[in-house]
């Protein structure tokens, strides 16, 4: 697994809360908006520290987007977070017309993403949010891989970005393994493991699965390059094209629908610049269901074992072709 070690499982929502709190301490213009689930998405840290800069609007996600836009137009930096299904889907019209059309600096936290939210079931498992959000003009989209990187992503979105930013993160405690001192670089893919036989492009929780898969492939004599695509938009086309040219095959891995997500974004690049064999790991055009998070990820084919099997198939196809 290379230099990456799991320091212990930690929910990415914790990283979101920690990043928001730190940014709030540094910048008095940062304000937070809650939609009835403040502690569940990590915003309680900010709300407790700065009660006069926190607004709870209840279960009214569309209204929250309008309020956030107004605050941004008045010079504040509003951060709003709720379940990804409600932030990205229920408030899609307000994001498009109010936030993106005005190109205001609003930070949107899409929490509880993917099937790893577990028992909450299909209605609360955000599996379509990347597809919907990445098509919005002016929108930047982050999908960090662990709690440490989520903390950096929030900090970066607030301090370094302009215009609207969507940050996707989960609830379940997952491996926390990235370097706490490594600065988050928007729009730049992160090389996790070098390799020349194929490339695994992963995002979110599946980056750790990709790292484990690369370890298993290495034991079989296959050296997989692993890229953490933590920025879905703007995506790092240069690094992806180079990976296609140098390794000749690409597997994408995401805790999201295969249609419209990371795999689609990368395929759009590959088909135009350097077509190579590709395989897509993710949700295959269906809804999730209730259950233990890790069991759901295995059931729906989003585990290291699935990445290994698809990688072996692609390497064989590359050699035969």
**Among all residues, which ones are annotated catalytic?**
61
62 phi, psi to nearest 5 deg: -65, -40
Q: Number of C-alpha atoms within 13 angstroms, CB side, residue 42?
A: 31
Q: How far apart are CA 280 and CA 100, in angstroms?
A: 29
Question: Which residues partner with 309 through β-bridges?
Answer: none
Question: In the chain, at which residue ranges do the beta strands (DSSP E only) sit?
Answer: 9-11, 30-34, 54-56, 77-83, 107-111, 140-142, 165-168, 173-175, 190-193, 198-202, 224-228, 231-233, 250-257, 278-283
Q: Tell me how far apart the alpha carbons of residues 141 and 283 are, in angstroms, rounded to a whole number.
A: 19
User: What are the φ and ψ backbone dihedral angles of 254, each rounded to 5 degrees?
Assistant: -150, 150
- Residues contacting 113, CB < 8 A, separation 6+: 84, 126, 129, 168, 169, 170, 204, 255, 256
Report residue 267: phi and psi, to 5°.
-60, -35
**Residue whose C-alpha is closest to residue 115's, from 209, 188, 182:** 209
CB 117 within 8 A of CB 170: yes
Q: How would you list the strands of the sheet with 77-83, edge to edge? A: 54-56, 30-34, 77-83, 107-111, 165-168, 140-142, 231-233
């Amino acid at each position: 697994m290379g230099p990456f070690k799991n320091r212990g499982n930690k929910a990415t929502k914790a990283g979101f809360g920690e990043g928001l709190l730190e940014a709030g301490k540094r910048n008095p213009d940062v304000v937070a908006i809650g939609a009835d689930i403040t502690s569940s998405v990590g915003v309680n840290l900010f709300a407790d520290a700065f009660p006069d800069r926190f607004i709870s609007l209840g279960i009214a996600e569309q209204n929250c987007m309008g309020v956030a836009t107004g605050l941004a137009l008045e010079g504040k930096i509003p951060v709003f977070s709720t379940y990804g299904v409600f932030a990205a889907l229920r408030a899609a019209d307000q994001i498009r017309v109010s936030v993106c059309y005005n190109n205001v600096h609003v930070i949107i936290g899409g929490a509880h993403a993917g099937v790893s939210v577990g028992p909450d079931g299909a209605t609360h498992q955000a599996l379509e949010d990347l597809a919907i959000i990445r098509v919005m003009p002016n929108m930047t989209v982050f999908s960090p891989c662990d709690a440490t990187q989520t903390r950096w992503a929030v900090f970066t979105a607030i301090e370094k970005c302009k215009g609207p930013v969507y940050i996707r993160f989960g609830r379940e405690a997952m491996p926390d393994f990235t370097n706490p001192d490594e600065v988050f670089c928007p729009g730049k893919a992160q090389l996790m493991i070098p390799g020349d036989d194929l490339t695994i492009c992963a995002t979110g929780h599946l980056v750790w699965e990709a790292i484990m898969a690369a370890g298993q492939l290495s034991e079989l004599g296959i050296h997989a390059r692993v890229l953490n695509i933590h920025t879905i938009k703007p995506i790092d086309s240069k690094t992806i094209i180079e990976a296609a040219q140098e390794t000749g095959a690409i597997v994408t891995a995401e805790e999201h629908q295969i249609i419209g997500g990371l795999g689609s974004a990368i395929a759009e690049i590959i088909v135009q610049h350097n077509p190579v064999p590709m395989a897509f790991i993710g949700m295959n055009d269906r809804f999730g269901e209730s259950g233990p998070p890790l069991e759901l990820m295995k059931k729906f084919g989003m585990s290291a074992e699935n990445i290994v099997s698809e990688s072996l198939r692609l390497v064989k196809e590359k050699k035969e072709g």
